[in-house]
Structure 1
Amino acid sequence: MNFNSYRVQLILRLLLLALSIYGLSWVGFNPDYRGTFVGLALFVVLQIGLLVHFHERTNRLFLRFLNSIKYDDFTEQFHISGEGKTLRGLSLQLNEVMEKFRHVRAEKEAHLQYFEVIVQHIGIGIMTFRPEGKILLLNNAAKKLLKVGQLREVQELAAVSPELALGLQQLENGEKVLVPVRQGTEQANLSVHVIELSLLGERIRLASLQNIQTELEEKEMEAWHNLIKVLTHEIMNSVTPIASLSSSAYEEVSSYTDTEAEEVTLLREELADIGQCLQTISRRSDGLIHFVNDFRNLTTIAVPQLSHFNVTELLQEIKVLLRGQLAAKNVKLQLEAPKESLILSADRAMIEQVLINLIKNAMEAVQEQPEGKVVVRAYHDERSRISIEVADNGHGMTTEAMAKIFIPFFTTKKSGSGIGLSLSRQIMRLHKGTISVQSELGKGTTFVLRF
């Protein structure tokens, strides 16, 4: 007989309890067997307690199982030996269930870690927060875009951009907004898209942040290029015949005024006046054609021919090149570059053209200053990009002028075509770089090239 069987043990315990009760009833309350009666009574109570304890073993097993689930402790193991086939089967099944829970939790944690890695490495800024403003998630792209560390509240973004902090909380589900953000010398336009989710009955707001400054500049330059092409085409079509006809007419009138024929003697003065007018029209038409051709340069920049060169050497050559102009205008040019080599991969001639243009603009900006000074710095920025600054101590610009400074034809100078900075920005874009400006009235202007 298998005495480890749950049923056998239960039957034996019940038989022993029945025999004990029978013996207790047989002894009765005979004074001669009082000690035996008390002993049998205690033995019966003990057996009842042991029987209840034995019977509740299954309940205790289930309680351990339920507590493990309640407190997410799936390390619990159920080992029952010597309790019979039924309890051993129950123990085995509970262990299998616990193993399943462990597998599900491990799979869930793996998926969670997988999605966290994706969210942290995605190029678009992602932020999740509660409607009251508590931030739940801020991925690396968002931190890099906003140049912030770990934030707890949306309101803390007011230090970066009040419009951004306000927009994140006021945007309705599915709405988008474009928020301008200036960080130092760099201008960014953030496309902010907010949607609402329900997570276990709790409202969660998810915002995506994307810098579309590059795309906006590309569209802006494309629009200007198309406009310039149309305008120059129409102007050239109209002016070229006028220049040609006026030139021909002037030659013809000149042939009459030069002759000594009697019939044109009286008209010589009138014809001379007409010839002078035609000559003026021809000269101004040629000037206008030359002017239009200059603007055509905005749409005909060649593809950069990349090469490796030393930035410090380039700056020193530019200083030598502009030495005469600097001395004539009594402007001091100061170069600040590291001793170690800054090797840049770019079109050397194009970058030289951009730097000369910026330095000349700076020279004009400080011309009225008693001690005009232009400082050119070359360095690695916080992202290890080669950066070149051209700073002056001139009068500076207004915020409105800074916003328009790169628009073709716009200029703050008394004389100028307004295409120099537009060309510079286009050249930098062809090099996958940026050009930005930071200025304040009375404190000068700084242009920054980042490669």
Structure 2
Amino acid sequence: MVFKNFRLQVVLRVVLLVASIFLFFSIGFKATYVGTQVALGLLIAAQTIWLIFFVERTTQRLIKFLNTIKYDDFSESFSPRGEGQLFDELYERYNEVMRKFRDIRSEKEATTQYFQTVVQHIGIGILTYRKNGEVQLINNAAKRLMQIPQLLHVEHLLPQAPQLVEQLLHLPAGQSAVLKLKHAREQVPVSVFVVDLKLRGEDFRLASIQNIQRELEEKEMEAWQNLIRVLTHEIMNSVTPISSLAGSVALDIQDVLEAQPSQTIVLQREETEDMGLALQTIEKRSQGLVRFVNDFRSLARVPTPKKQLFSLQEMFRQLQLLFQEEMAHEQITYVLVCTPASLQVAADRELVEQVLINLIRNAIHALADQPQKKLEVEAFMDSDSRVVIQVTDNGSGISEEAQEQIFLPFYTTKRTGSGIGLSLSKQIMRLHKGSLTVSSELGTGTTFTLRF
């Protein structure tokens, strides 16, 4: 057992090698000792090679340890071989590192399995793939939506869902798109949202695909209910007095006919004036009803935007000239800011001007009772590189309840007005693939934001 000690064996080999070399040179180079010298030379060479191989055994075990890490083969173990306390401790450290790697790999595999199970049970379709379209992961919800048992490449969806393939490969990161997937004889609306990921230096895309049929139906039903409620309210407001007045005139005429059965009927001036006034009222309310119907028809006749690139600074100058006299008369501080001055947007200029004119006029009305009146129109580019225009006033503000309904057709907080201006403006922004939102605080002011 003693001769298995590494240190002792190295010392013995070195001593024997030194003794052999000393003996080789001590006998001299005499012809009578040629055979002895050759034998000693061979012995020295053999001892040297033997010592090298013996020392390299430790290096080989280190290489073996590193290879287990390189190839993730942690089943290997290193047992002590009686080479001394130092080597026993070294092998024990090797084994500890191997056990640690095994624990890490087991934990990693368990975590991966857990997240894969979670992803597979999510109701929203999840799809991860490389930029070239090679699919890495697809969950059960995505398979059900696309009606496929498996998917290896995004382009394999081209026969049944070419629009989906186009969005998956080219939709800008952080944006969503709505399209339809064919299910048997039905078209199912889905929302697709894509983000870019980088994993170990490689680019990936993660897409979520969600069936929004129920949400759309609920929103559609809510919109119809709101529209019907507004329509019935407005129509009843006009039809009820018309019906009442018409009934009163009919009764008056019936009374006159019964009172004067002869062919010639004589009406008193007062009676004639009353009937004339009633008919004028009926005509006026009928005209109001016709205007209401025309306003309603205009909501469905917004033209398709003819987009072209134009300067916002130039448009602001024209708006300043347009409202200059009115602002001076109302004593409103009127500020238009475009940052940078060269900022441009691709949109239908006439329609955008219509939206801004409507918002500016609303702001002027909101400032009517304010002692210090200020109206600011500002254009800039946000953090997502989207062009934003904001119209801000320091008027009386809008209540939270009104903010929720202010974009509904025919809803208005003003005593006079059709209530379609903001609805038209929001529809124009939708046609531009943009948005129109409002933020307001009572007693502080209101900001309308156009985002292209």
Report the TM-score when normalising by structure 1.
0.54
1:23-422 aligned at under 5 Å gives the runs 23-26=23-26, 36-258=36-258, 264-267=262-265
| Structure 2 residue runs without a partner (length 5+) | 267-274, 287-452
Over the matched positions of the two proteins, sequence identity in percent amounts to 48
SS in 2 for 1:159: coil
Measured in 1, the distance between the counterparts of 2:111 and 2:163 equals: 35
The aligned counterpart of 1:10 is: 10
Offset of 1:77 from its aligned partner?
0.9
Deviations 1:201-260 (A, max 9, x none): 22212211112221122111111101101111222233233334434443444444345x
Measured in 2, the distance between the counterparts of 1:59 and 1:15 equals: 22
Q: Is the 8 A contact 1:163 1:179 kept in 2?
A: yes
Offset of 1:143 from its aligned partner?
0.7
Offset of 1:163 from its aligned partner?
1.4
**Counterpart code for 1:138:** I
Measured in 1, the distance between the counterparts of 2:181 and 2:67 equals: 53
SS in 2 for 1:56: helix
SS in 1 for 2:132: coil
Deviations 1:44-88 (A, max 9, x none): 333222211111122111110111122121111111311011111
**Counterpart code for 1:211:** N
Q: Is the 8 A contact 1:6 1:86 kept in 2?
A: no
SS in 2 for 1:173: coil
SS in 2 for 1:123: coil
Measured in 2, the distance between the counterparts of 1:78 and 1:28 equals: 48
Matched positions, count: 272
SS in 2 for 1:240: helix
Q: Is the 8 A contact 1:131 1:204 kept in 2?
A: yes
Measured in 2, the distance between the counterparts of 1:63 and 1:177 equals: 54
Offset of 1:27 from its aligned partner?
5.1
Offset of 1:148 from its aligned partner?
1.4
Offset of 1:31 from its aligned partner?
6.1
| Structure 1 residue runs without a partner (length 5+) | 269-273, 286-451
Q: Is the 8 A contact 2:80 2:87 kept in 1?
A: yes
**Counterpart code for 1:22:** F
SS in 1 for 2:52: helix
Offset of 1:3 from its aligned partner?
4.1
**Counterpart code for 1:207:** A
Q: Is the 8 A contact 2:7 2:83 kept in 1?
A: no
Measured in 2, the distance between the counterparts of 1:30 and 1:75 equals: 59
Measured in 1, the distance between the counterparts of 2:55 and 2:254 equals: 132
**Counterpart code for 2:84:** G
SS in 1 for 2:131: coil
Measured in 1, the distance between the counterparts of 2:156 and 2:14 equals: 73
Offset of 1:142 from its aligned partner?
0.8
Report the TM-score when normalising by structure 2.
0.54
Measured in 2, the distance between the counterparts of 1:206 and 1:14 equals: 64
Cα RMSD (Å) of the superposition?
3.1
SS in 1 for 2:149: coil
Q: Is the 8 A contact 1:192 1:209 kept in 2?
A: yes
Q: Is the 8 A contact 2:177 2:191 kept in 1?
A: yes
SS in 1 for 2:158: helix
